[in-house]
Amino acid sequence: MKKLKILHVSDAYYPFPGGVSEHMYHLSKALRERGHEVYILTANYNGQEDEKYVKRVGKIHTFLANKTQITWTFSWNLPFEVKKFIRENKFDVIHTHGPLAPNLPFLALHFSNSINVATFHTAFVGFNFYKIAKYFFKNAFKKIDCAICVSNKAFEEIYPYFPYKEKYRIIPNGIDTQRFKPEGEKIEKFLKHNFKILYVGRLEPRKGFPVLLKAFELIADKVDGILIVAGKGIEEENYKKMVPERLKPKVFFEGFVPFEKLPAYYRTCDLYVSPALGGETFGIVLLEAMASGACVIASNIDGYNEVLKDGKNGILFEKGNYKELSEKILTLYKNKDLRKKLADSGYRFSENFDWKKITEKAEEVYLKMVKIKISEKY
């Protein structure tokens, strides 16, 4: 099998938390384990230095759009930095993440003379940016050899505006099942509590944390339990102020949870809840929780409902309906056998998404594109 030199490009990468950062880290790591030489090109976050496989350029800027934090790389000499790095390294494959915008992945695609693979992770809340992008990035899309969507939802968002069906593949996100598993460390300080509900995610409007807080408020007197909140974000202080005085001893804001500690939080909880309001193309957090042995409840939104099947490997509730969410939490609190049944089913389902299996699919795309390019050359 041909060993490839591969570059992954995204504005969003560690230390910025989120699905794209997780995706790039684990896919790159798994590809290296399969013998490929893999690098990451990303933004400079607060002066970090380059790492062994990570090249940082420009400076990161964040702003609010699509009800979430958007990352954007900028410096006056950024195009020259990107061009120089790409031309000096002669990559076999350049894999950009969301290149149809005036961003770092677009610059990499623009200067690429390699095979071009792009992954599209985005679902929009409200206005679909691709309606505008089709006018400005049509030629950029034509340069892409294979467009990977992480779900049917991601495909449905982009395809009407870039209708080149032969280019698309659906390859889902993955999880590290060696890291996220039922066995291992738990958060000791929470184990004395009878019933532990966990939220993991950025504290921003799109993630819907207030829906969970309202649901918890309705049942707090009926449940011998606590709510653990793992994550930071632009609304963190506002959300803390929303907690009624009587609930403050039962709601624990843990702030940003380090990479190595996150599995312990999933293992500690009896119930993981994701109340996101939209804009989710997949649901890595749902799979992480399942793989860790937790029972999962999530809002019934596109992307999430491709991962979570109601009553089979978890429970879905109507988006934003905190009353329904409170009722379903209460049902699972009272029915431990049902919790275990759903958790066991979720665990088995999560095994299909191990990064090693997902990486094989991505590798297959790369090698196929290389083979086509070689055949066209001769």
**Percent of the chain topping pLDDT 70:** 96
Q: What is the mean pLDDT of residues 326-338?
A: 97
Domain 188-352 bears CATH identifier 3.40.50.2000? yes
Confidence tier at 48 by pLDDT (50, 70, 90): confident
Q: Comparing 5-174+354-377 with 188-352, is the CATH topology the same?
A: yes
pLDDT at 33 > cutoff 60: yes
Confidence tier at 375 by pLDDT (50, 70, 90): low
CATH number of 5-174+354-377: 3.40.50.2000
Q: Which of 67-81, 123-137, 309-323 has the lowest mean pLDDT?
A: 67-81
Q: What is the mean pLDDT of residues 70-78?
A: 82
> What's the pTM?
0.84
Confidence tier at 371 by pLDDT (50, 70, 90): confident
pLDDT at 284 > cutoff 80: yes
Residue scoring higher pLDDT (65 or 177): 177
CB 295 within 8 A of CB 287: no
Domain boundaries, the chain: 5-174+354-377, 188-352
Confidence tier at 239 by pLDDT (50, 70, 90): very high
Q: What pLDDT shows up at residue 125? A: 75
- Tell me the pLDDT tens digit for each residue of 336-359: 999 999 999 999 999 999 999 999
pLDDT at 105 > cutoff 90: yes
Residue scoring higher pLDDT (144 or 70): 144
Whats the size of the chain, residue-wise? 378
Q: Cα(6)–Cα(63) distance, rounded to whole angstroms?
A: 29
Confidence tier at 297 by pLDDT (50, 70, 90): very high
- Tell me the pLDDT tens digit for each residue of 170-207: 999 999 999 999 999 999 999 999 999 999 998 999 99
Confidence tier at 75 by pLDDT (50, 70, 90): confident
Q: Cα(375)–Cα(270) distance, rounded to whole angstroms?
A: 54
Alpha helices by DSSP H, listed for the chain, are 19-33, 78-89, 104-111, 130-136, 138-143, 152-158, 209-219, 236-242, 262-268, 284-291, 304-307, 322-334, 336-350, 355-377
pLDDT at 378 > cutoff 60: no
Q: What pLDDT shows up at residue 170? A: 95
Q: Which pairs with CB-CB distance under 8 Å and at least 24 residues apart come from 341-346? A: 342/295, 342/296, 342/311, 342/312, 342/313, 342/314, 342/315, 343/290, 343/293, 343/294, 343/295, 343/296, 345/312, 345/313, 346/289, 346/290, 346/294, 346/295, 346/296, 346/313, 346/314
Confidence tier at 279 by pLDDT (50, 70, 90): confident
Q: What is the mean pLDDT of residues 67-80?
A: 79
Q: What pLDDT shows up at residue 377? A: 59
Q: What pLDDT shows up at residue 65? A: 56
Give the mean pLDDT of the chain.
92
Q: Which of 95-99, 123-127, 173-177, 305-309 has the lowest mean pLDDT?
A: 123-127
